[in-house]
Amino acid sequence: MDTIEHPTLGTLEFDASLNWYTNNIVVQGEPAAFRLSLDECDDTTTLLSNGADVASGISATALSAADYAAHTLLDDINNHWLRDGELRLSHEQLVAMLLLESVVVYPDGGSEWLFVDRTAELLVGHCVIATLEPDGTFSDASING
């Protein structure tokens, strides 16, 4: 259970401490981690299939996840995260700030999209997580840290 060679996902290394397989990928020219969670996984074949489905549209979904997170969190960020005197961010500015750090795919086909602040100035020590349900709809976005 150390590694899996997959035609779409490449070489997936098992991380026993986190109970997932992981690989490094490039999304929109930037490195990101791609992870397959084995939590509550009864069927690795289905998990790999779900992972391949996510990987096939990863650039478009990453943009959608950033857009959803910006839409959901913009008011909170503008009202609570800016320093005195800083100009309020637009939706487009926030989307541009979000850099995909990792994607975790779950056995049910849902996934979490973790972003960090590309500028490393606003969300210091925190990340933004957008949750994509198995049916393809985003259900949550939050700031964690």
Half-sphere exposure of 105 toward its Cβ, with a 13 Å CA cutoff?
27
- Count of CB atoms within 10 A of residue 97's CB? 21
**What are the residue ranges of helices labelled H in the chain?**
44-56, 58-80, 91-97
Those residues with Cβ within 8 angstroms of residue 87's Cβ, 6 or more apart along the chain or in another chain: none
Q: For residue 1, what pLDDT is reported?
A: 61
Give, for all 145 residues of the chain, the pLDDT tens digit: 689 999 999 999 999 999 999 999 999 999 999 999 999 888 899 999 999 999 999 999 999 999 999 999 999 999 999 888 889 999 999 999 999 999 999 999 999 999 999 988 889 899 999 999 999 999 999 999 9
Tokens of 37: 């969670």
Q: What is the pTM of this model?
A: 0.94
**Cα distances (angstroms) measured from residue 118 to each of 19, 97, 131:** 28, 5, 20
- What confidence tens digit (pLDDT) does each residue in 82-123 have? 888 889 999 999 999 999 999 999 999 999 999 999 988 889
**How far is Cα 53 from Cα 109, in angstroms, rounded to an integer?**
9
3-state secondary structure of 74: helix
Q: For residue 42, what pLDDT is reported?
A: 83
